[in-house]
Amino acid sequence: MFQPTGPHLSLPTASSVIDAVRDPTSVVFNLDGYQVLAACDLPLGGRRVSAVANSVEAACPDCGVVSTRVHQRTRQKVKDLGVGGKDIELVIIKPRFLCAEAACARRTFTQVTDQLPFRARCTARLKAAAVEAVLDEGMPIWRTCARYQLGWATINTAVTADALTIPAPDMVPVRALGIDEHRFARAKWFKHPETAQWCRVEPWMSTFVDADTGHILGVVDGRSSANITRWLKQRSQAWLEQLQVVAIDPSSAFRNAVRQVLPAVEISVDHWHVVRLGNQMLTEVRQRVTREVLGRRGRKEDSVWAHRMLLLRAGDRLTDAGLHRLEQVLDDEDYEQVAAAWAVKERLRAMLAARDIPAAQNARIDFEMAVAAADMAETDKLAATVAKWWTEIKVFVRTQVTNARTESANTGIKQIKRTGRGFRNQRNYQSRILGTSVRQTRRRRRIPHQQGLHAQR
Ligand SMILES: [Zn+2]
Protein backbone atom coordinates (compact mmCIF):
# COMPACT_ATOMS: atom_id res chain seq x y z
CA MET A 1 0.00 0.00 0.00
CA PHE A 2 1.23 3.54 -0.71
CA GLN A 3 2.51 5.17 2.45
CA PRO A 4 3.05 8.93 2.24
CA THR A 5 6.31 10.02 3.83
CA GLY A 6 7.79 13.34 4.88
CA PRO A 7 6.14 16.15 6.81
CA HIS A 8 4.17 17.49 3.84
CA LEU A 9 2.57 14.23 2.89
CA SER A 10 1.58 12.83 6.27
CA LEU A 11 -2.12 12.08 6.54
CA PRO A 12 -4.10 14.19 9.00
CA THR A 13 -5.15 12.42 12.21
CA ALA A 14 -8.80 11.80 12.93
CA SER A 15 -9.07 14.56 15.56
CA SER A 16 -7.49 17.21 13.32
CA VAL A 17 -9.93 16.31 10.55
CA ILE A 18 -12.84 16.94 12.87
CA ASP A 19 -11.35 20.29 14.04
CA ALA A 20 -10.55 21.44 10.57
CA VAL A 21 -13.83 20.74 8.80
CA ARG A 22 -14.74 23.89 6.92
CA ASP A 23 -16.80 24.23 3.79
CA PRO A 24 -14.74 24.66 0.61
CA THR A 25 -15.58 28.37 0.19
CA SER A 26 -14.46 29.18 3.71
CA VAL A 27 -11.25 27.24 3.12
CA VAL A 28 -10.53 29.25 -0.03
CA PHE A 29 -11.48 32.55 1.54
CA ASN A 30 -9.47 31.68 4.67
CA LEU A 31 -10.46 34.54 6.98
CA ASP A 32 -9.51 33.38 10.47
CA GLY A 33 -12.52 32.77 12.71
CA TYR A 34 -15.11 33.31 9.96
CA GLN A 35 -17.11 31.12 7.67
CA VAL A 36 -18.46 32.18 4.29
CA LEU A 37 -22.25 32.18 3.92
CA ALA A 38 -22.55 33.30 0.33
CA ALA A 39 -20.47 34.58 -2.55
CA CYS A 40 -21.64 36.13 -5.82
CA ASP A 41 -20.36 38.08 -8.82
CA LEU A 42 -21.39 41.71 -8.95
CA PRO A 43 -22.82 43.05 -12.23
CA LEU A 44 -20.07 45.71 -12.59
CA GLY A 45 -17.19 43.33 -11.79
CA GLY A 46 -15.81 42.40 -8.43
CA ARG A 47 -17.38 39.94 -6.05
CA ARG A 48 -19.37 40.10 -2.87
CA VAL A 49 -18.67 37.68 -0.03
CA SER A 50 -20.90 37.42 3.03
CA ALA A 51 -19.37 35.89 6.13
CA VAL A 52 -20.23 35.27 9.75
CA ALA A 53 -18.00 34.65 12.75
CA ASN A 54 -17.67 31.05 13.93
CA SER A 55 -18.11 32.08 17.52
CA VAL A 56 -21.76 32.18 18.65
CA GLU A 57 -21.10 33.75 22.03
CA ALA A 58 -19.22 36.77 23.35
CA ALA A 59 -18.24 38.28 26.67
CA CYS A 60 -19.67 41.66 27.67
CA PRO A 61 -16.90 44.30 27.59
CA ASP A 62 -18.18 45.79 30.88
CA CYS A 63 -19.00 42.83 33.13
CA GLY A 64 -17.26 40.01 31.28
CA VAL A 65 -20.26 37.66 31.47
CA VAL A 66 -20.54 35.47 28.37
CA SER A 67 -23.76 35.80 26.44
CA THR A 68 -25.31 33.83 23.56
CA ARG A 69 -28.50 35.92 23.31
CA VAL A 70 -28.55 37.83 20.05
CA HIS A 71 -30.42 41.14 20.13
CA GLN A 72 -30.14 41.82 16.39
CA ARG A 73 -27.88 41.15 13.41
CA THR A 74 -26.43 43.93 11.29
CA ARG A 75 -24.68 43.82 7.94
CA GLN A 76 -21.38 45.68 7.86
CA LYS A 77 -19.21 46.27 4.81
CA VAL A 78 -15.51 45.97 5.57
CA LYS A 79 -12.40 46.11 3.42
CA ASP A 80 -10.45 42.92 2.91
CA LEU A 81 -7.72 41.42 0.77
CA GLY A 82 -8.69 40.50 -2.76
CA VAL A 83 -8.96 36.78 -3.48
CA GLY A 84 -8.14 35.08 -6.76
CA GLY A 85 -6.88 38.30 -8.31
CA LYS A 86 -10.13 40.19 -7.80
CA ASP A 87 -11.28 42.81 -5.32
CA ILE A 88 -13.75 41.62 -2.75
CA GLU A 89 -16.65 43.40 -1.20
CA LEU A 90 -16.85 41.73 2.20
CA VAL A 91 -20.11 41.89 4.13
CA ILE A 92 -19.99 40.68 7.72
CA ILE A 93 -23.20 39.58 9.38
CA LYS A 94 -22.48 40.88 12.84
CA PRO A 95 -24.54 39.96 15.89
CA ARG A 96 -25.30 42.44 18.64
CA PHE A 97 -25.55 40.51 21.91
CA LEU A 98 -27.75 41.19 24.91
CA CYS A 99 -25.78 41.28 28.15
CA ALA A 100 -26.75 38.23 30.24
CA GLU A 101 -25.94 39.90 33.56
CA ALA A 102 -28.99 41.60 35.03
CA ALA A 103 -26.87 43.83 37.31
CA CYS A 104 -24.81 45.16 34.35
CA ALA A 105 -25.59 48.68 33.16
CA ARG A 106 -24.77 47.76 29.56
CA ARG A 107 -27.69 46.35 27.65
CA THR A 108 -26.13 45.27 24.35
CA PHE A 109 -22.70 44.97 22.78
CA THR A 110 -21.35 44.07 19.34
CA GLN A 111 -19.14 41.17 18.47
CA VAL A 112 -15.40 41.74 18.18
CA THR A 113 -12.88 39.26 16.75
CA ASP A 114 -9.13 39.17 16.12
CA GLN A 115 -9.74 40.00 12.45
CA LEU A 116 -12.29 42.72 13.17
CA PRO A 117 -11.52 44.54 16.43
CA PHE A 118 -13.82 47.21 17.88
CA ARG A 119 -14.89 49.76 15.25
CA ALA A 120 -12.58 48.22 12.60
CA ARG A 121 -13.49 49.10 9.02
CA CYS A 122 -10.98 46.72 7.48
CA THR A 123 -9.74 43.25 8.40
CA ALA A 124 -6.58 42.81 10.44
CA ARG A 125 -5.10 40.71 7.63
CA LEU A 126 -5.50 43.59 5.18
CA LYS A 127 -3.69 45.99 7.51
CA ALA A 128 -0.99 43.40 8.17
CA ALA A 129 -0.46 42.98 4.42
CA ALA A 130 -0.11 46.76 4.01
CA VAL A 131 2.37 47.00 6.90
CA GLU A 132 4.32 44.10 5.43
CA ALA A 133 4.47 45.84 2.05
CA VAL A 134 5.83 49.02 3.65
CA LEU A 135 8.27 47.54 6.17
CA ASP A 136 9.39 44.31 4.50
CA GLU A 137 9.17 45.12 0.81
CA GLY A 138 10.06 48.79 1.22
CA MET A 139 7.02 49.96 -0.73
CA PRO A 140 6.13 53.64 -0.32
CA ILE A 141 2.84 54.22 1.51
CA TRP A 142 1.21 56.04 -1.40
CA ARG A 143 1.59 52.97 -3.58
CA THR A 144 0.41 50.69 -0.78
CA CYS A 145 -2.73 52.85 -0.56
CA ALA A 146 -3.55 52.11 -4.18
CA ARG A 147 -2.88 48.40 -3.87
CA TYR A 148 -4.97 47.81 -0.75
CA GLN A 149 -7.57 50.57 -1.17
CA LEU A 150 -6.69 52.06 2.20
CA GLY A 151 -6.04 55.67 3.21
CA TRP A 152 -2.55 57.02 3.83
CA ALA A 153 -3.28 57.78 7.48
CA THR A 154 -4.68 54.28 8.10
CA ILE A 155 -1.52 52.63 6.81
CA ASN A 156 0.80 55.11 8.47
CA THR A 157 -0.93 54.60 11.82
CA ALA A 158 -0.63 50.82 11.43
CA VAL A 159 3.05 51.11 10.53
CA THR A 160 3.74 53.40 13.49
CA ALA A 161 1.79 51.08 15.81
CA ASP A 162 3.83 48.13 14.56
CA ALA A 163 7.05 50.02 15.35
CA LEU A 164 5.77 50.62 18.87
CA THR A 165 5.60 46.88 19.58
CA ILE A 166 9.37 46.59 19.18
CA PRO A 167 11.24 45.35 22.22
CA ALA A 168 12.48 48.09 24.50
CA PRO A 169 16.25 48.30 24.08
CA ASP A 170 16.62 47.43 27.75
CA MET A 171 15.07 44.01 27.06
CA VAL A 172 17.66 43.12 24.40
CA PRO A 173 20.85 41.82 25.98
CA VAL A 174 23.70 43.54 24.20
CA ARG A 175 27.37 42.77 24.65
CA ALA A 176 28.73 44.96 21.88
CA LEU A 177 27.06 48.23 20.92
CA GLY A 178 27.70 50.03 17.63
CA ILE A 179 27.09 53.77 17.30
CA ASP A 180 27.03 55.35 13.87
CA GLU A 181 25.78 58.51 12.25
CA HIS A 182 24.04 59.22 8.96
CA ARG A 183 22.49 62.24 7.28
CA PHE A 184 18.83 61.61 6.60
CA ALA A 185 18.03 64.60 4.39
CA ARG A 186 19.84 67.17 2.33
CA ALA A 187 21.49 70.08 4.10
CA LYS A 188 19.04 72.97 4.27
CA TRP A 189 19.38 76.73 4.69
CA PHE A 190 17.14 78.58 7.12
CA LYS A 191 16.85 82.28 7.76
CA HIS A 192 17.11 82.85 11.51
CA PRO A 193 13.89 84.62 12.60
CA GLU A 194 15.66 87.07 14.96
CA THR A 195 19.11 87.73 13.55
CA ALA A 196 17.91 87.36 9.91
CA GLN A 197 21.09 85.40 9.18
CA TRP A 198 21.16 82.34 6.99
CA CYS A 199 22.13 79.17 8.83
CA ARG A 200 22.98 75.79 7.39
CA VAL A 201 21.20 72.85 9.01
CA GLU A 202 22.48 69.32 8.45
CA PRO A 203 19.78 66.84 9.45
CA TRP A 204 21.80 64.07 11.05
CA MET A 205 20.63 61.00 12.92
CA SER A 206 22.64 58.61 15.02
CA THR A 207 21.79 54.92 15.20
CA PHE A 208 22.47 52.47 18.00
CA VAL A 209 22.92 48.91 16.79
CA ASP A 210 23.63 45.56 18.42
CA ALA A 211 27.06 45.08 16.82
CA ASP A 212 26.68 41.28 16.97
CA THR A 213 23.30 40.97 15.25
CA GLY A 214 22.82 44.26 13.37
CA HIS A 215 19.52 44.88 15.15
CA ILE A 216 18.76 48.62 15.45
CA LEU A 217 18.10 49.49 19.08
CA GLY A 218 17.43 53.18 18.73
CA VAL A 219 17.63 56.24 16.53
CA VAL A 220 18.25 59.74 17.85
CA ASP A 221 18.37 63.14 16.21
CA GLY A 222 21.71 64.76 15.57
CA ARG A 223 25.19 63.44 16.11
CA SER A 224 26.35 65.54 19.01
CA SER A 225 27.78 64.18 22.21
CA ALA A 226 24.71 65.43 24.13
CA ASN A 227 22.26 63.40 22.01
CA ILE A 228 24.29 60.21 22.35
CA THR A 229 24.63 60.72 26.09
CA ARG A 230 20.91 61.29 26.50
CA TRP A 231 20.02 57.98 24.83
CA LEU A 232 22.60 56.07 26.86
CA LYS A 233 21.37 57.64 30.11
CA GLN A 234 17.81 56.46 29.36
CA ARG A 235 18.99 52.83 29.53
CA SER A 236 18.70 50.81 32.70
CA GLN A 237 21.72 50.29 34.93
CA ALA A 238 21.56 46.52 34.29
CA TRP A 239 21.63 47.06 30.53
CA LEU A 240 24.61 49.43 30.73
CA GLU A 241 26.49 47.03 32.98
CA GLN A 242 26.32 44.13 30.53
CA LEU A 243 27.92 46.24 27.77
CA GLN A 244 31.50 45.21 27.19
CA VAL A 245 32.52 47.01 24.02
CA VAL A 246 31.21 50.02 22.12
CA ALA A 247 32.26 50.30 18.48
CA ILE A 248 32.36 53.84 17.05
CA ASP A 249 33.70 55.74 14.08
CA PRO A 250 36.80 57.78 14.81
CA SER A 251 34.64 60.64 16.13
CA SER A 252 35.68 62.54 19.24
CA ALA A 253 32.06 63.48 20.00
CA PHE A 254 31.06 59.80 20.20
CA ARG A 255 34.13 58.93 22.26
CA ASN A 256 33.45 61.72 24.76
CA ALA A 257 29.80 60.68 25.07
CA VAL A 258 30.63 57.04 25.71
CA ARG A 259 33.42 57.92 28.16
CA GLN A 260 31.04 60.15 30.10
CA VAL A 261 28.26 57.58 30.61
CA LEU A 262 30.31 54.37 30.51
CA PRO A 263 33.74 55.06 31.97
CA ALA A 264 34.47 51.32 32.37
CA VAL A 265 33.43 50.09 28.92
CA GLU A 266 36.03 49.49 26.20
CA ILE A 267 35.79 51.53 23.02
CA SER A 268 36.66 49.91 19.73
CA VAL A 269 37.28 51.98 16.63
CA ASP A 270 36.12 50.50 13.39
CA HIS A 271 39.04 49.30 11.25
CA TRP A 272 37.19 50.10 8.04
CA HIS A 273 37.07 53.81 8.91
CA VAL A 274 40.78 53.83 9.80
CA VAL A 275 41.66 52.18 6.47
CA ARG A 276 39.51 54.80 4.77
CA LEU A 277 41.61 57.53 6.43
CA GLY A 278 44.70 55.80 5.01
CA ASN A 279 43.18 55.75 1.54
CA GLN A 280 42.22 59.42 1.81
CA MET A 281 45.80 60.24 2.74
CA LEU A 282 47.11 58.32 -0.31
CA THR A 283 44.67 60.13 -2.62
CA GLU A 284 45.68 63.53 -1.22
CA VAL A 285 49.37 62.74 -1.81
CA ARG A 286 48.68 61.52 -5.35
CA GLN A 287 46.73 64.66 -6.22
CA ARG A 288 49.35 67.02 -4.73
CA VAL A 289 52.28 65.25 -6.40
CA THR A 290 50.47 65.23 -9.76
CA ARG A 291 49.91 68.99 -9.48
CA GLU A 292 53.58 69.53 -8.58
CA VAL A 293 54.92 67.32 -11.38
CA LEU A 294 52.50 68.20 -14.20
CA GLY A 295 51.16 71.55 -13.06
CA ARG A 296 47.59 70.31 -13.57
CA ARG A 297 45.09 67.69 -12.42
CA GLY A 298 45.53 64.05 -13.39
CA ARG A 299 44.13 62.77 -16.69
CA LYS A 300 43.52 59.36 -18.09
CA GLU A 301 46.79 59.33 -20.03
CA ASP A 302 48.73 59.71 -16.74
CA SER A 303 49.69 56.27 -15.45
CA VAL A 304 49.26 57.22 -11.79
CA TRP A 305 45.77 58.63 -12.42
CA ALA A 306 44.72 55.67 -14.56
CA HIS A 307 45.75 53.32 -11.75
CA ARG A 308 44.35 55.38 -8.88
CA MET A 309 41.90 52.61 -7.89
CA LEU A 310 44.66 49.99 -8.06
CA LEU A 311 46.62 52.06 -5.53
CA LEU A 312 43.71 51.91 -3.09
CA ARG A 313 43.16 48.16 -3.38
CA ALA A 314 44.49 45.84 -0.69
CA GLY A 315 48.15 45.32 -1.65
CA ASP A 316 48.34 41.80 -0.22
CA ARG A 317 45.32 40.65 -2.24
CA LEU A 318 46.50 41.86 -5.66
CA THR A 319 47.06 39.35 -8.45
CA ASP A 320 50.56 38.98 -9.95
CA ALA A 321 49.46 41.04 -12.95
CA GLY A 322 48.09 43.73 -10.64
CA LEU A 323 51.29 43.83 -8.60
CA HIS A 324 53.32 44.09 -11.80
CA ARG A 325 51.28 47.06 -13.00
CA LEU A 326 51.55 48.71 -9.59
CA GLU A 327 55.35 48.34 -9.68
CA GLN A 328 55.45 50.08 -13.04
CA VAL A 329 53.36 52.97 -11.72
CA LEU A 330 55.37 53.40 -8.52
CA ASP A 331 58.79 52.95 -10.21
CA ASP A 332 58.55 56.43 -11.73
CA GLU A 333 61.06 58.68 -9.90
CA ASP A 334 58.71 61.66 -10.03
CA TYR A 335 56.13 59.74 -8.04
CA GLU A 336 58.29 58.33 -5.27
CA GLN A 337 56.23 60.25 -2.71
CA VAL A 338 53.16 58.36 -3.92
CA ALA A 339 55.10 55.10 -3.51
CA ALA A 340 56.01 56.14 0.07
CA ALA A 341 52.38 56.99 0.85
CA TRP A 342 51.27 53.63 -0.58
CA ALA A 343 53.79 51.87 1.71
CA VAL A 344 52.35 53.76 4.72
CA LYS A 345 48.80 52.76 3.75
CA GLU A 346 49.81 49.10 3.45
CA ARG A 347 51.61 49.17 6.87
CA LEU A 348 48.42 50.65 8.34
CA ARG A 349 46.37 47.79 6.91
CA ALA A 350 48.84 45.20 8.20
CA MET A 351 48.61 46.79 11.66
CA LEU A 352 44.80 46.54 11.69
CA ALA A 353 44.95 42.94 10.43
CA ALA A 354 47.09 41.88 13.41
CA ARG A 355 45.57 39.05 15.42
CA ASP A 356 46.93 40.03 18.85
CA ILE A 357 48.39 43.03 20.67
CA PRO A 358 52.12 42.10 20.35
CA ALA A 359 51.66 41.61 16.59
CA ALA A 360 49.82 44.95 16.37
CA GLN A 361 52.59 46.69 18.33
CA ASN A 362 55.26 45.25 16.01
CA ALA A 363 53.19 46.29 12.99
CA ARG A 364 52.90 49.79 14.45
CA ILE A 365 56.72 50.06 14.60
CA ASP A 366 56.83 49.19 10.87
CA PHE A 367 54.10 51.76 10.25
CA GLU A 368 55.97 54.50 12.15
CA MET A 369 59.17 53.70 10.24
CA ALA A 370 57.32 54.01 6.94
CA VAL A 371 55.84 57.34 8.12
CA ALA A 372 59.30 58.62 9.11
CA ALA A 373 60.71 57.52 5.74
CA ALA A 374 57.85 59.17 3.83
CA ASP A 375 58.38 62.46 5.70
CA MET A 376 55.26 64.22 4.38
CA ALA A 377 52.58 66.35 6.02
CA GLU A 378 49.83 63.93 4.94
CA THR A 379 51.47 60.82 6.40
CA ASP A 380 52.40 62.67 9.62
CA LYS A 381 48.75 63.64 10.03
CA LEU A 382 47.68 60.01 9.63
CA ALA A 383 50.26 58.90 12.19
CA ALA A 384 48.93 61.54 14.61
CA THR A 385 45.38 60.20 14.17
CA VAL A 386 46.58 56.64 14.78
CA ALA A 387 48.37 57.82 17.97
CA LYS A 388 45.18 59.56 19.12
CA TRP A 389 43.11 56.40 18.61
CA TRP A 390 45.72 53.79 19.52
CA THR A 391 43.87 52.57 22.65
CA GLU A 392 40.68 52.05 20.60
CA ILE A 393 42.60 50.35 17.76
CA LYS A 394 44.08 47.89 20.26
CA VAL A 395 40.56 47.13 21.56
CA PHE A 396 39.51 46.39 17.98
CA VAL A 397 42.50 44.07 17.45
CA ARG A 398 41.70 42.19 20.66
CA THR A 399 37.89 42.03 20.40
CA GLN A 400 37.33 42.32 16.61
CA VAL A 401 34.12 44.25 17.37
CA THR A 402 33.38 46.42 14.34
CA ASN A 403 30.69 48.70 13.08
CA ALA A 404 30.25 46.60 9.95
CA ARG A 405 26.70 45.65 10.89
CA THR A 406 25.90 49.22 11.85
CA GLU A 407 27.05 50.25 8.40
CA SER A 408 24.81 47.67 6.78
CA ALA A 409 21.92 48.93 8.92
CA ASN A 410 22.68 52.42 7.61
CA THR A 411 22.51 51.14 4.05
CA GLY A 412 19.03 49.82 4.85
CA ILE A 413 18.09 53.16 6.37
CA LYS A 414 19.19 54.99 3.23
CA GLN A 415 17.03 52.62 1.22
CA ILE A 416 14.03 53.55 3.39
CA LYS A 417 14.82 57.21 2.82
CA ARG A 418 14.94 56.74 -0.95
CA THR A 419 11.64 54.86 -0.93
CA GLY A 420 10.02 57.68 1.02
CA ARG A 421 11.45 60.26 -1.42
CA GLY A 422 12.69 62.08 1.67
CA PHE A 423 10.83 62.32 4.93
CA ARG A 424 9.68 65.60 6.37
CA ASN A 425 8.30 64.00 9.51
CA GLN A 426 11.16 62.57 11.52
CA ARG A 427 8.84 60.41 13.64
CA ASN A 428 7.50 58.61 10.57
CA TYR A 429 11.06 58.09 9.39
CA GLN A 430 12.16 56.63 12.72
CA SER A 431 9.16 54.30 12.92
CA ARG A 432 10.02 52.89 9.47
CA ILE A 433 13.66 52.33 10.48
CA LEU A 434 12.90 50.64 13.78
CA GLY A 435 9.95 48.67 12.37
CA THR A 436 11.94 47.33 9.42
CA SER A 437 14.88 46.37 11.60
CA VAL A 438 12.85 44.56 14.24
CA ARG A 439 10.97 42.57 11.58
CA GLN A 440 14.27 41.55 9.99
CA THR A 441 15.58 40.41 13.35
CA ARG A 442 12.36 38.46 14.05
CA ARG A 443 12.61 36.74 10.67
CA ARG A 444 16.26 35.85 11.23
CA ARG A 445 15.56 34.40 14.65
CA ARG A 446 12.09 33.13 13.68
CA ILE A 447 10.44 34.93 16.59
CA PRO A 448 6.68 35.17 16.06
CA HIS A 449 5.22 38.65 16.15
CA GLN A 450 4.42 40.00 19.64
CA GLN A 451 6.12 37.14 21.49
CA GLY A 452 8.13 38.43 24.40
CA LEU A 453 7.74 41.97 23.20
CA HIS A 454 6.16 44.94 24.81
CA ALA A 455 5.56 48.54 23.91
CA GLN A 456 8.53 50.84 24.12
CA ARG A 457 6.58 53.97 24.84
ZN1 LIG B 1 -22.43 43.31 30.86
Question: 446 falls in which pLDDT band (50, 70, 90)?
Answer: low
Q: How far apart are CA 365 and CA 72, in angstroms?
A: 87
Compute the distance from residue 94 Cα to the ligand 1 centre, in Å. Answer: 18
Amino acid letter, residue 402: T
Write out pLDDT tens, residues 10-69: 444 444 444 557 888 888 888 888 999 999 988 887 889 999 998 888 999 899 899 999
* pLDDT of 392 higher than 70: yes
Do 76 and 120 contact (CB within 8 A), yes or no? no
Do 263 and 229 contact (CB within 8 A), yes or no? no
79 versus 422: the higher-pLDDT residue is 79
Compute the distance from residue 13 Cα to the ligand 1 centre, in Å. Answer: 40
Q: How far apart are CA 455 and CA 17, in angstroms?
A: 38
Work out whether strand 216-221 and strand 188-191 pair parallel, antiparallel, or are unpaired: unpaired
Compute the distance from residue 64 Cα to the ligand 1 centre, in Å. Answer: 6
Compute the distance from residue 66 Cα to the ligand 1 centre, in Å. Answer: 8
Question: 447 falls in which pLDDT band (50, 70, 90)?
Answer: very low
Compute the distance from residue 74 Cα to the ligand 1 centre, in Å. Answer: 20
Compute the distance from residue 65 Cα to the ligand 1 centre, in Å. Answer: 6
Q: How far apart are CA 298 and CA 82, in angstroms?
A: 60
* Residue spans per domain, the chain: 7-120, 122-165, 169-270+403-445, 271-399
R_g (Cα) of the chain, nearest Å: 31
Compute the distance from residue 54 Cα to the ligand 1 centre, in Å. Answer: 21
Compute the distance from residue 109 Cα to the ligand 1 centre, in Å. Answer: 8
Compute the distance from residue 97 Cα to the ligand 1 centre, in Å. Answer: 10
What is the pLDDT at residue 191?
Answer: 79
Compute the distance from residue 82 Cα to the ligand 1 centre, in Å. Answer: 36
What is the pLDDT at residue 364?
Answer: 92
* pLDDT of 437 higher than 90: no
Compute the distance from residue 411 Cα to the ligand 1 centre, in Å. Answer: 53
Does domain 169-270+403-445 fall under CATH 3.30.420.10? My reply is: yes
- What residues contact 26, with CB distance under 8 A and at least 6 apart? 34, 35, 36, 51
Q: How far apart are CA 249 and CA 425, in angstroms?
A: 27
Do 76 and 87 contact (CB within 8 A), yes or no? no
Of residues 162, 107, 112, the one with CA closest to residue 133: 162
* pLDDT of 97 higher than 90: yes
Rounded mean pLDDT, 424-451:
64
What is the pLDDT at residue 317?
Answer: 81
Q: Degrees (nearest 5) of the Cα angle 407, 411, 412?
A: 120
Q: What Cα–Cα distance (Å) separates residue 28 from each residue in 2, 32, 38, 49, 220?
A: 28, 11, 13, 12, 46
Compute the distance from residue 115 Cα to the ligand 1 centre, in Å. Answer: 23
Rounded mean pLDDT, 1-17:
43
Kindly state the helix (H) or strand (E) to which residue 249 belongs, with its residue range.
none
Compute the distance from residue 106 Cα to the ligand 1 centre, in Å. Answer: 5
Rounded mean pLDDT, 66-85:
88
- Contacts within 8 Å (CB) and 24+ apart, 442-445: 444/213
What is the pLDDT at residue 409?
Answer: 66
Compute the distance from residue 56 Cα to the ligand 1 centre, in Å. Answer: 17
Compute the distance from residue 105 Cα to the ligand 1 centre, in Å. Answer: 7
φ, ψ for residue 97 (rounded to 5)? -90, 150
12 versus 342: the higher-pLDDT residue is 342
Alpha helices in 389-454 (DSSP H): 390-399, 404-419, 426-445
Write out pLDDT tens, residues 173-215: 788 888 887 776 667 777 777 888 887 776 777 888 888 877 7
Write out pLDDT tens, residues 344-390: 999 999 999 888 999 999 999 999 999 998 889 999 999 999 999 99
Write out pLDDT tens, residues 268-313: 988 888 999 999 999 999 889 888 888 888 777 777 777 778 888 8
Compute the distance from residue 111 Cα to the ligand 1 centre, in Å. Answer: 13
